[in-house]
Amino acid sequence: MNEQELNARLALNRIPGIGADIFTRLIKQFGSATAVFNAGRSQLERIPGLGNDRLDRLAAGPDATGTEQDLEWLGSADHHVLFIDDKVYPDLLLQIASPPPVLFLKGRPELLYAPQLAIVGSRNPTPAGIENARAFAEHLSRTGFTITSGLALGIDGAAHEGALGGQGSTIAVTGTGLDRIYPARHRQLAHRIAGEGLVVSEFPVGASPQKNNFPRRNRIISGLSLGCLVVEATRKSGSLITAKYALEQGREVYAIPGSIHSPLARGCHWLIRQGAKLVETANDIIDELPPIALMPGDADGDNIRQEHQARATDDYSDLSEDERKLMDALGHDPASIDTLVARTGWEVDRVTVVLMDLELASRLNSLPGGLYMRTYPE
């Protein structure tokens, strides 16, 4: 991407009212953000959902000061930006409703492609809840999961701390720009995650912790993950929003039960009544997702995507032509049947039959939410 288009995309991301859907619609219609800003009002008026306010803001042109702040932030070696049409945009996140068109990254971007499990819960947990979150996260991280959470006080923070002790490390998705740390009490933890894990945000530099930002953040936490574990939560807990997104996105939801007398158990008990899986140990999740637990973490910091690609070059001589084509279409991230139909151009029945043959041959595994993922030899 050239410098002009990068500037235009960063500027488009900053225009008030241009959310994920409209950003994506504009890029698709005009082919680039540069073309969006060069378009006349009559052309822009043809885009559904813009309205006069958004048209006026687009006509006013880019916010040069804000864009310069983004570019200055991107000047650091461990700072990155990812756009929705980039080839390396995470496939799982691409499958959700309204995926974020822009992701700002600080730390190890390869963790985006690792198998992730979200761990969320109350901001005011019990000591037992803190211990459970930390212990589950550390155990799951040691088996290869990257633990994804929201950097909030309480369960989120404990999950990040536990995950940093394992090879899977952790991803913190924030509701602010990545030049800000919220809550401030997690400043040291955030710096450690940026150094050993990854911090992610869809919000540009300077974005403050607005109330509406956090539900948007929650859809990314669940969208990046194969499943979501709720440790402790009241019935009105924000963590239930993440669990709800996970269910809508076809992800597995897990909950740890508690005392019937504890208000912090009521959210988990409600989720279990809605169909979430009751878990007592981390192995309950590992048993549910065995191929994930076998995937290697890399403490030396090698790019996980590159390692997956290297492992994917194993011998295909025992596979049919259709099986080889489907393995190539599957790639190295979990994918749904609909995604594979789109990538191959085949009918659903043909894709389903070949998937079944590959699963019987132990070349791939089915995951919760109707997803499939290739296996990797030890």
User: For 136-160, what is each residue's pLDDT tens digit?
Assistant: 999 999 998 999 999 999 999 999 9
In a domain? residue 83: no
* pLDDT (mean) for 99-119: 94
Does one domain contain both 270 and 230?
A: yes
CATH code of the domain in which 18 resides: 1.10.150
Q: Phi then psi for 201, rounded to 5 degrees?
A: -155, 145
Q: Looking at the predicted structure, is the pLDDT value of residue 253 above 80? A: yes
pLDDT band at 16 (very low <50, low <70, confident <90, very high): confident
Does one domain contain both 289 and 319?
A: no
Q: Looking at the predicted structure, is the pLDDT value of residue 377 above 60? A: no
In a domain? residue 35: yes
pLDDT at position 7: 92
Q: What percent of the chain has pLDDT over 90?
A: 61
Domain boundary among 234, 263, 293: 293
Does one domain contain both 17 and 141?
A: no
| Structural domain of 217 | 91-293
Residue type, 332: H
Q: Which range is most confident: 10-24, 128-142, 291-305, 348-362?
A: 128-142
Q: Looking at the predicted structure, is the pLDDT value of residue 304 above 50? A: no
* pLDDT (mean) for 330-336: 75
In a domain? residue 76: no
Q: Lowest mean pLDDT: which of 83-97, 134-148, 222-236, 303-317?
A: 303-317
In a domain? residue 129: yes
In a domain? residue 43: yes
What are the distances in angstroms from CA 215 to CA 35, 204, 254? 31, 17, 19
Q: Looking at the predicted structure, is the pLDDT value of residue 310 above 90? A: no
Closest CA to 144 of 166, 168, 169, 162: 168
Q: Which residue has the higher pLDDT, 179 or 360?
A: 179
pLDDT band at 252 (very low <50, low <70, confident <90, very high): very high
Q: Which residue has the higher pLDDT, 294 or 187?
A: 187
Beta bridge partners of 10: none
* pLDDT (mean) for 71-95: 91
Does one domain contain both 174 and 140?
A: yes
pLDDT band at 333 (very low <50, low <70, confident <90, very high): low
pLDDT band at 312 (very low <50, low <70, confident <90, very high): very low
Interhelix angle 321-330/337-344, rounded to 10 degrees, is: 110
* pLDDT (mean) for 2-12: 91
Residue found by looking up tokens 């991301």 in the block: 13
Does one domain contain both 224 and 126?
A: yes
Peptide bond into 209 cis (omega under 30): no
pLDDT at position 368: 62
pLDDT at position 88: 87
Does one domain contain both 204 and 113?
A: yes
Average pLDDT, the chain: 87
Q: Which range is most confident: 225-229, 282-286, 353-357, 360-364?
A: 225-229
Does one domain contain both 120 and 208?
A: yes
Does one domain contain both 282 and 342?
A: no
Domain boundary among 266, 293, 320: 293
Which residue pairs, CB below 8 angstroms and at least 24 apart, start in 327-333? 327/358, 327/363, 327/364, 327/374, 330/364, 330/372, 330/373, 330/374, 331/91, 332/113, 332/305, 332/308, 332/374, 333/90, 333/91, 333/92, 333/113, 333/373
Domain boundary among 265, 293, 321: 293
Does one domain contain both 45 and 177?
A: no
Residue type, 59: A
pLDDT band at 328 (very low <50, low <70, confident <90, very high): confident
Q: Phi then psi for 255, rounded to 5 degrees?
A: -145, 140
Query: Where does residue 151 rank: exposed (0-12), middle (13-18), buried (19+ CB within 10 A)?
Result: buried
pLDDT band at 277 (very low <50, low <70, confident <90, very high): very high
Q: Are residues 271 and 264 in contact, defined by beta-carbon separation less than 8 angstroms?
A: no
* pLDDT (mean) for 294-300: 38
In a domain? residue 98: yes
In a domain? residue 306: no
Q: Looking at the predicted structure, is the pLDDT value of residue 330 above 70? A: yes
Q: Looking at the predicted structure, is the pLDDT value of residue 293 above 70? A: no
Cα–Cα distance for residue pair 5/35, rounded to 1 Å: 9
Q: Are residues 100 and 93 in contact, defined by beta-carbon separation less than 8 angstroms?
A: yes
In a domain? residue 289: yes
Q: Looking at the predicted structure, is the pLDDT value of residue 225 above 80? A: yes
Q: Three-class SS string for the chain?
A: CCHHHHHHHHHHHHCCCCCHHHHHHHHHHHCCHHHHHHCCHHHHCCCCCCHHHHHHHHHCCCCHHHHHHHHHHCCCCCEEEEECCCCCCCHHHHCCCCCCCEEEEEECHHHHHCCEEEEECCCCCCHHHHHHHHHHHHHHHHCCCEEEECCCCCHHHHHHHHHCCCCCCEEEECCCCCCCCCCHHHHHHHHHHHHHCEEEECCCCCCCCCCCHHHHHHHHHHHHCCEEEECCCCCCCCHHHHHHHHHHCCCEEEECCCCCCCHHHHHHHHHHHCCCEECCCHHHHHHHCHHHHCCCCCCCCCCHHHHHHHHCCCCCCCCCHHHHHHHHHHCCCCEEHHHHHHHHCCCHHHHHHHHHHHHHCCCEEEECCCEEEECCCC
Does one domain contain both 358 and 257?
A: no
CATH code of the domain in which 160 resides: 3.40.50.450
Count of structural domains within the chain = 3
Does one domain contain both 61 and 115?
A: no
Does one domain contain both 225 and 359?
A: no
